[in-house]
Amino acid sequence: MKFRSRKEDRRVYELEALLKQHRALLDNLLEENERLKMELIQAEYGLKQLIRKFYPEHYPKARDSTLIKLVDTLKEAIEASRTQCRGEIISAEKDAVHIMSREQYSTQQLNVDNLRDREVEALKLVLRGYCTVKSLSEKMRLKYLDASKLLSELNSKSLIHFTFVRTSSNRRGVKIYFPSELGEKACEQLLGRPWSMLHSEELKSINMYADNLALAREAAKRLAAAGYKKVVTESEAQELCSFRWSGGSHRADLAVEVPGVRGEKLVLVECESMSNPLRQVVKMLDAYEEVFGRIFVVV
């Protein structure tokens, strides 16, 4: 009977982990392929509806040649429109409104004198992490509608943006506010430090902060309780949590086996304690986008 050495066992373990990662990547590619296929079908349907409207005589036999004809006609119309607009743009240059470039925009300083006291207070709270209408209204002791109006005013002044995040209790989505480039610049002016570090400071001040290790352990416990059979932390299995990308290598906080189209697949999960520099977070996002096309984050 032949026994494998520890080195051979470790190599087999690493190869098995690599195989699981490749299977997960294949599942992601298959799902992406199916999504693109559906988008193509919808695009073809939309083009045929355009043919039905503008070329009704060709609609019953709408094939590739008709689609090409439609595209060529649209190209000609666009080029004609551009030619017509060039003269108007040149003649209007003297009266044109100056639009700041990205670099100019990011270097602008906030003129606090242009903001009301309530707006400055609300902006500081959004920067510190009170980034929903509900949390801001509770912190400032405002009516919900008043807090919503205050955030809308800051948004109209290009200090903050928002995105919708769906939750289990609100499938339509909750507005989450975050600073624009000008808002990030204002953060250093108003609070004296980068925006990316403020959340952890605020959580520590109210005894609600959890570092990455504590967050990973709690997430693993909850995922296991939710029925996922295999959940391991980075400290338990570094090989399973590691992957390579063009910028080097990255190690996730958790590895979770979830049911997939082709059986169990490995999903890597990040636990973000909001205490890392923004450039480090962006690098992490780039790594996941390149290899997996999506990211699962516990915050």
The mean per-residue pLDDT over the stretch 21-27 comes to: 77
Lowest mean pLDDT across 69-83, 116-130, 139-153 = 69-83
pLDDT interval class at 227 (50, 70, 90):
confident
Q: 17 versus 193: which is more confidently predicted?
A: 193
Q: 249 versus 72: which is more confidently predicted?
A: 249
pLDDT interval class at 77 (50, 70, 90):
low
For residue 86, is pLDDT > 60?
A: no
For residue 89, is pLDDT > 60?
A: no
Domains 106-205 and 212-298 share a fold: no
For residue 104, is pLDDT > 50?
A: no
Q: What pLDDT shows up at residue 101?
A: 43
Q: Quick one: fold of 106-205?
A: Arc Repressor Mutant, subunit A (1.10.10)
Return the domain boundaries, the chain: 63-94, 106-205, 212-298
Q: What pLDDT shows up at residue 59?
A: 55
Portion of the chain with pLDDT greater than 70, in percent: 74
Q: 222 versus 25: which is more confidently predicted?
A: 222
Distance set, CA 105 to CA 57, 60, 111, 157, 194 (Å): 52, 52, 14, 13, 17
For residue 281, is pLDDT > 90?
A: no
For residue 210, is pLDDT > 90?
A: no
Q: What pLDDT shows up at residue 288?
A: 93
On whether the 212-298 domain is CATH 3.40.50.620, my answer is: no
